[in-house]
Amino acid sequence: MDSYTVADAAEVLGVSPSTVYRRIAEGELEAYDISRRGSSRPNLRITRTSIEAFQAARTVTAA
């Protein structure tokens, strides 16, 4: 899968959808809008590479 819905990304990351929206707003996750022109609500997709980078940045290794 090359992109995830907000709900799918939340499941992969083990967080709530609202946390995913917050991470997008803060620039920590990269997303794009696939909603139709004129739509009042965004239909966001989060890239796989963005999720992988987010996870890698939070991975802690033993010293």
User: For residue 35, which amino acid is it?
Assistant: S
Range of 32's domain?
A: 3-57
For residue 13, being part of any structural domain is answered with yes
- 43 domain-assigned: yes
Q: What is the DSSP letter of 33?
A: E
pLDDT of residue 41: 84
Q: Is 32 part of any domain?
A: yes
Q: What confidence tens digit (pLDDT) does each residue in 6-15 have?
A: 999 999 999 9
In eight-state DSSP terms, residue 4 is E
Domain count along the chain: 1
Exposure on the CB side of residue 29, measured as CA atoms within 13 A:
27
Query: For the segment 21-54, what is each residue's pLDDT rounded down to a tens digit?
Result: 999 999 999 999 998 888 888 899 999 999 999 9
This prediction has a pTM of: 0.82
> 62 pLDDT exceeds 80?
no
Q: Distance of CA 22 to CAs 2, 19, 27, 54, Å?
A: 21, 5, 9, 13
